[in-house]
Amino acid sequence: MHFRTGYPKVIRRLVKATVSGVLSGMIVTLPVRSADKLYVDYGVLGRQISVSSLETFATYGTIETELAPYLNQISPENRQELQRVLNTPLLALGDGIPEEIGNPFVLSQWLYSPIGEFVLATVGQLIQTEGHQNGRQAIRGAMVLAAADPAGLSLINILRFYPTNGVRLDLRQILAVSDAIRTNIEATDRLVKATIQQSVATAATEPTLDYQALPMLADVSRFEVVQQSLMLVDRDRNRTYPTDLYLPADLSAVPGPIPVMVFSHGYGETRTNPDAVAAARSLAANGFVVAVPEHIGSNAAYQDDLALGLNRESFDVMEFINRPLDIRFLLDTLEEKNKTDFQERLQLDRVGLVGYSFGGYTVLAAAGATVDVELLEQQCDLDADFVPDNVNIALLIQCRLLELQASPQVLQQLLDGSLADERIASVFALSPLSNLFGDKGMGNIQMPVVIVGGAYDIATPIVQEQLAAFQGLTVSEKYFYLAQNLSHTSALTRAILDLAYPRSGIVERFNASEQWLFNLMVTLLIAHGQVSLMGDETYTPYLTAAYVEAVSVEPTRLHLLRFLPPCLSRRPAQCVEN
């Protein structure tokens, strides 16, 4: 695959306007049916509600006779909130919802992608057609038509455009999903409580130091920093991709071998993400050389092409292979440049990896983790009952790996550890996609590992992803950092905090502390790199529970585990101790 920087903006806008206009014109001429009845089934039992009564309630707040037995059971405040949720376009319900969801063409493209198909098939088990069939096709049609309608993509509008006479809700399965979600929430709550308790207890046993007096390494500028850009051409894979290097301007001022770190960006992200650039510059100012490659089959440009109809998927499934190989080829390139450009100063036999989200998967795979296909098959089985292990949004990406079963030789690389690179000496994985490795796969990593997770992460849930990954590690040098009240991104964090703690001011406190949390994470990254790559023990005070307990601030305090409490040492969702 060749690297594409993307079409020029003018061409992209022209294509987008053209296809959106064509689609809108087609929609206007389509015959529109509307669901008349909403059936709520529980086995052989069932109830029915007319969609018109729901429309009346959503539009005017009027409770007709058939709705009274249900809505009179809830408080006026909750009825008002229900009316708002029914009638408000999804984009207006809160922050963190992608704007593209309101564009009927972009929405259609995504719903026809492999991830969209998986979502529809899963939701279609819960929301069925009048004839008790999976509702995937009906839901897709209703969502696209609702998005194209002036009233927008609201729940009541989706019902208006549902293409069968009736909509069936399978209450038994909906309750199973609800139970699984509740179990996961309870397990997360137990994890947070156990982590805080153990981190505080461990901190009390560690050396008494003035940890707050330790310099915030993210703010330390020992060296001026410069950026260099490379275009890597891997002819064996027909893959060309850019990489940015951040390094001290005067390498002669850096004593001894120069440590190297490689950053792997997340799904739908780019190497130029401001946080990644800021972190890379901070490391370079502390004497590291940092390489940030662009993963061209799963970056922002690739997703843009999906929105324009130029791709049929949001990422290339070969990224499960190509991402770790991007790192390998980058290191090969740096070895050649080390001879010509760096006077062999780069320490390339002990390299550190840093990855966020899908990048977390990438660095764990490059460090030796292997995929547990049987576990993935169980969790991705659409016919299986809804249980805590398979009610996990992160599976939307991970289940696509099973497409590689059609190419056994390709899949074998994920199973036999051949993606591992012996030059890797440490891993720092933030909110990684990691459940697909299982205990056995994570046990293959034999180097220091840091895993970071947010307690409110709904994209890569901390119990099913980060805790499960930490649980499988067998190395002694392992660190599990939990951040209270933090989600997968800043926007999601604000949305969830606002929902969980309305009118409490917690979002404002998060905004005020966000930069401090970022600096703390970069400081930990620098300290772990100095210890694990350079063997510099003077940085070990940073690697303690006492340090994070002393310097963390509300509302996203960090806590550190070095080993799991007895309750959490079992499968996370089965943890029942208090």
- Residue pair 398/433 in contact (Cβ under 8 Å)? The answer is yes
- Residue pair 242/229 in contact (Cβ under 8 Å)? The answer is yes
Residues 6+ apart with CB under 8 A from 326: 234, 239, 241, 293, 295, 362
- Residue pair 470/564 in contact (Cβ under 8 Å)? The answer is yes
- What 8-state DSSP symbol labels residue 467? I
Sign for the CA dihedral angle at 296, 301, 306, 311 comes to negative
- What 8-state DSSP symbol labels residue 384? S
- What 8-state DSSP symbol labels residue 299? B
- Give the DSSP H/E element, type plus range, for residue 566: none
- Residue pair 479/549 in contact (Cβ under 8 Å)? The answer is no
Bridging pattern class, strands 346-356 and 424-430: parallel
d(CA 127, CA 107): 19
Q: What is the 3-state secondary structure (H, E, C) of 14-27?
A: HHHHHHHHHHHHHH
Residues 6+ apart with CB under 8 A from 570: none
Instruction: Tell me the CB-side half-sphere exposure of residue 533, using CA atoms within 13 A.
Output: 30
Which of 336, 329, 355 has the alpha carbon at shortest distance from 243?
329
- Residue pair 49/35 in contact (Cβ under 8 Å)? The answer is no
Identify the residue whose tokens are 């000496």.
425
Sign for the CA dihedral angle at 243, 247, 251, 254 comes to negative
Identify the residue whose tokens are 């970071």.
452
List the 37-42 sheet strands across, edge first. 45-50, 37-42, 166-170, 127-129
Identify the residue whose tokens are 């996990």.
392
Fold of 189-574: Rossmann fold (3.40.50)
d(CA 407, CA 430): 30
Q: Which amino acid is at 152?
A: G
Q: What is the domain partition of the chain in residue ranges?
A: 9-164, 189-574
User: Measured between alpha carbons, how far is residue 422 from residues 229, 254, 328, 368, 536 in Å?
Assistant: 25, 25, 10, 9, 21
How confident is the prediction along the chain (578 residues), in pLDDT tens digits per residue?
A: 333 333 334 334 433 433 333 333 333 333 445 678 888 888 767 788 898 999 999 889 999 988 888 888 888 888 898 999 998 998 887 766 777 788 899 899 989 999 999 999 999 999 999 898 999 999 999 999 999 999 899 999 999 899 988 899 999 999 999 999 999 999 999 999 999 999 999 999 999 999 999 999 999 999 999 999 999 999 999 999 999 999 999 999 999 999 999 999 999 999 999 999 999 999 999 999 999 999 999 999 998 898 888 888 999 999 999 999 999 999 999 999 999 999 999 999 999 999 999 999 999 999 999 999 999 999 999 989 999 999 999 999 999 999 999 999 999 999 999 999 999 999 999 999 999 999 999 999 999 999 999 999 999 999 999 999 999 999 999 999 999 999 999 999 998 998 889 889 999 999 999 999 999 999 999 999 999 999 999 999 999 999 999 999 999 999 999 998 876 765 544 444 44
